[in-house]
Every structure is written in C-alpha cells, then in structure tokens.
Amino acid sequence: MATSEPRLTIKKSLTPSELDDVGALVREARWNQLAADWRIFIEFGRLYAIHSEAGRIIATTATLPHGGRFAWISMVLVAGEYRRRGLATMLLRQAMADLAAAKLVPVLDATPDGRPVYRKLGFQDSWGFQRLIRRERQRAAASVGAPAGVTVRPIADADWPALCAYDAAAFGAERSAVLTGLRGRLPAAELVATRAGAIAGFLLGRDGGLAAQIGPLIADDDAIAGALAAHALDGIEGPLFVDLADSKRELRNVLDARGFVAVRPFTRMLYGSSARFDDAARTFAAVGPEFG
C-alpha cells in the first residue's frame, strides 16, 4: 500500500538495495540504463526519489545541469502499482522549481505519450529525433570512407581537451563530465575525426541493459558523420541503438544500409521556449534522452 504522504528525498548516493530498486524501475519500463548511468546523475546532477512505506524507491526523476545555462530532466519512472497517483507530476514540479531557483532552463526529450503532458507544464517543441535499432551486426554492400584530408581513428587522451571544447561549441554548453562518464563503456565507438590537425567530429557510446548505444555523434558535415558511424558499426556486435536527428537524412541512409530500423520518435522540448541551444548542423545523434 502506498503511503498517504509520499516521502520525497534527494539522493546523494544509492545503496545496493536502492540500486536494485531503480534497476527494477528501468526494467519494468523496458528502458536501457545501467548503474553507471545512475551514477552520473548522483555525481553531477540531482536524483529525486519517492519511497514506499517499506522504504523502497518507487518513483524517480533526475536533473543534470549543463554549463550553467540549462539542465536536463529525465528518468521519470514510477513503479506500475503506484502509477496514476500524481507521483511523477510531484517529482517534475519539484525538479522544475529547483531548476528555476538555479536560473537553469529545463530541457527534456519526450516520447509521444509524454509530449502532451509536458506541453501542459509549459514545455515547447524544439526538434525531433528517432531512436533506431540494429538487431545484429550487418556489413553494408559499400564501405563508407572518410573524405579526403580527414582521418578517423580511436580517441587518445591527448585529444580530450580539444574534443570537449569542440563538443561544448556544438552542444551549447560544457558537458565534459557526462562525456567522461561514457569513456571506456563502448571502446569500439570512441572515435575522433581530424582534419589539418583540428577536430572535425567525434563519436562515443555506452553499454546498456537492452542494447549498446552510440552517441553523441557531432561532426562538421554529413560525410564525416557517416565515416565515424560506419567505422564504429563494423566493430560492434549485437543490438545497437542510435538516437538520430530527424534532419540527418544522409546519415539515416547509411544506417538503413546497416540494418537499422525506427523504434520510436522523441521530441526535444524546452521550458518556455522552442529555441534550441545546440548547433543543428553539427548535431547528428544525441547521447540519449536521459543526458541530452
């Protein structure tokens, strides 16, 4: 039985049993996050949780600030038996109030079911992307090479400061903590493209409960983005997600040839505005709806 007065806490760490609780919420929702993803919210953001009378986590929402300009809201999860009791709305309103106090613009990625709910709360549509999945590795009939003068290679430690600066210029805020949290989780996807000694694009990825995922994919143009993606896909086995911007049709053709199909659409929404922070030309694939 749910408590008549839900106990909302802000978590600064998660005990092993609480990790089990949030993991169960993810699995029930058929989402993809692992413990490593929750740790990013704990370390660099804020995790809101509601507990049952028995002390178990039954609902969550997370926020993650980016560069003092805006913050992501995500991980809005409620255990099945506790849904339709206003818990998600209570968590969202608390998160939004805290972000307003910090003068950060709330941003989120909405599913079709969630979009009308967020619109009622004051969020506006900005741009769309599709989650695509490749069930198993497939090699394309034709390879996709890097354009003349561009080299695609694994990321080296020496690349990292310039890579994070390149990302910040494209994303609209510094997010090196999130990018660092992805390193080492999907080594075959950790690629950088360089041209004349400067970064012209990069790709990262991570493991997941349902599938690995590649992203973010940031690049100067379609040809570089396609070369980065193709290089990674050849080295990754098994199911694989990518959250691809709707506008990137050339890259969609590359992914279609590699066996990707659409799973669901998302809409990036900003509170009180539709004006995006990021560089649309260079933003090919998101990290994911939980991180941006």
**pLDDT, tens digit, 9 for 90 and up, residues 77-88:** 999 989 888 899
CA distance 137 to 240: 9
CB 249 within 8 A of CB 208: no
CA distance 240 to 133: 6
Model confidence at 141, pLDDT cuts 50, 70, 90, reads low
Neighbours of 100 (CB within 10 A): 12
CB 237 within 8 A of CB 137: yes
State residue 146's pLDDT score. 81
Amino acid letter, residue 20 = D
Q: Is the pLDDT of residue 253 over 60?
A: yes
Q: Is the pLDDT of residue 258 over 60?
A: yes
**Structural domains of the chain, with CATH:** 7-103 (3.40.630.30), 130-266+276-286 (3.40.630.90)
State residue 67's pLDDT score. 87
CB 255 within 8 A of CB 120: no
pTM of this structure? 0.92
Residues shown for the chain: 292
Mean pLDDT of 163-170: 98
State residue 220's pLDDT score. 98
List residues bridging with 195 in a β-sheet: 150, 198
CA distance 217 to 232: 11
> 3-class SS at 268?
strand
Q: What is the pLDDT of residues 262-274, one digit of tens each?
A: 999 999 999 999 9
DSSP sequence for 154-175: E--GGGHHHHHHHHHHHHSS--
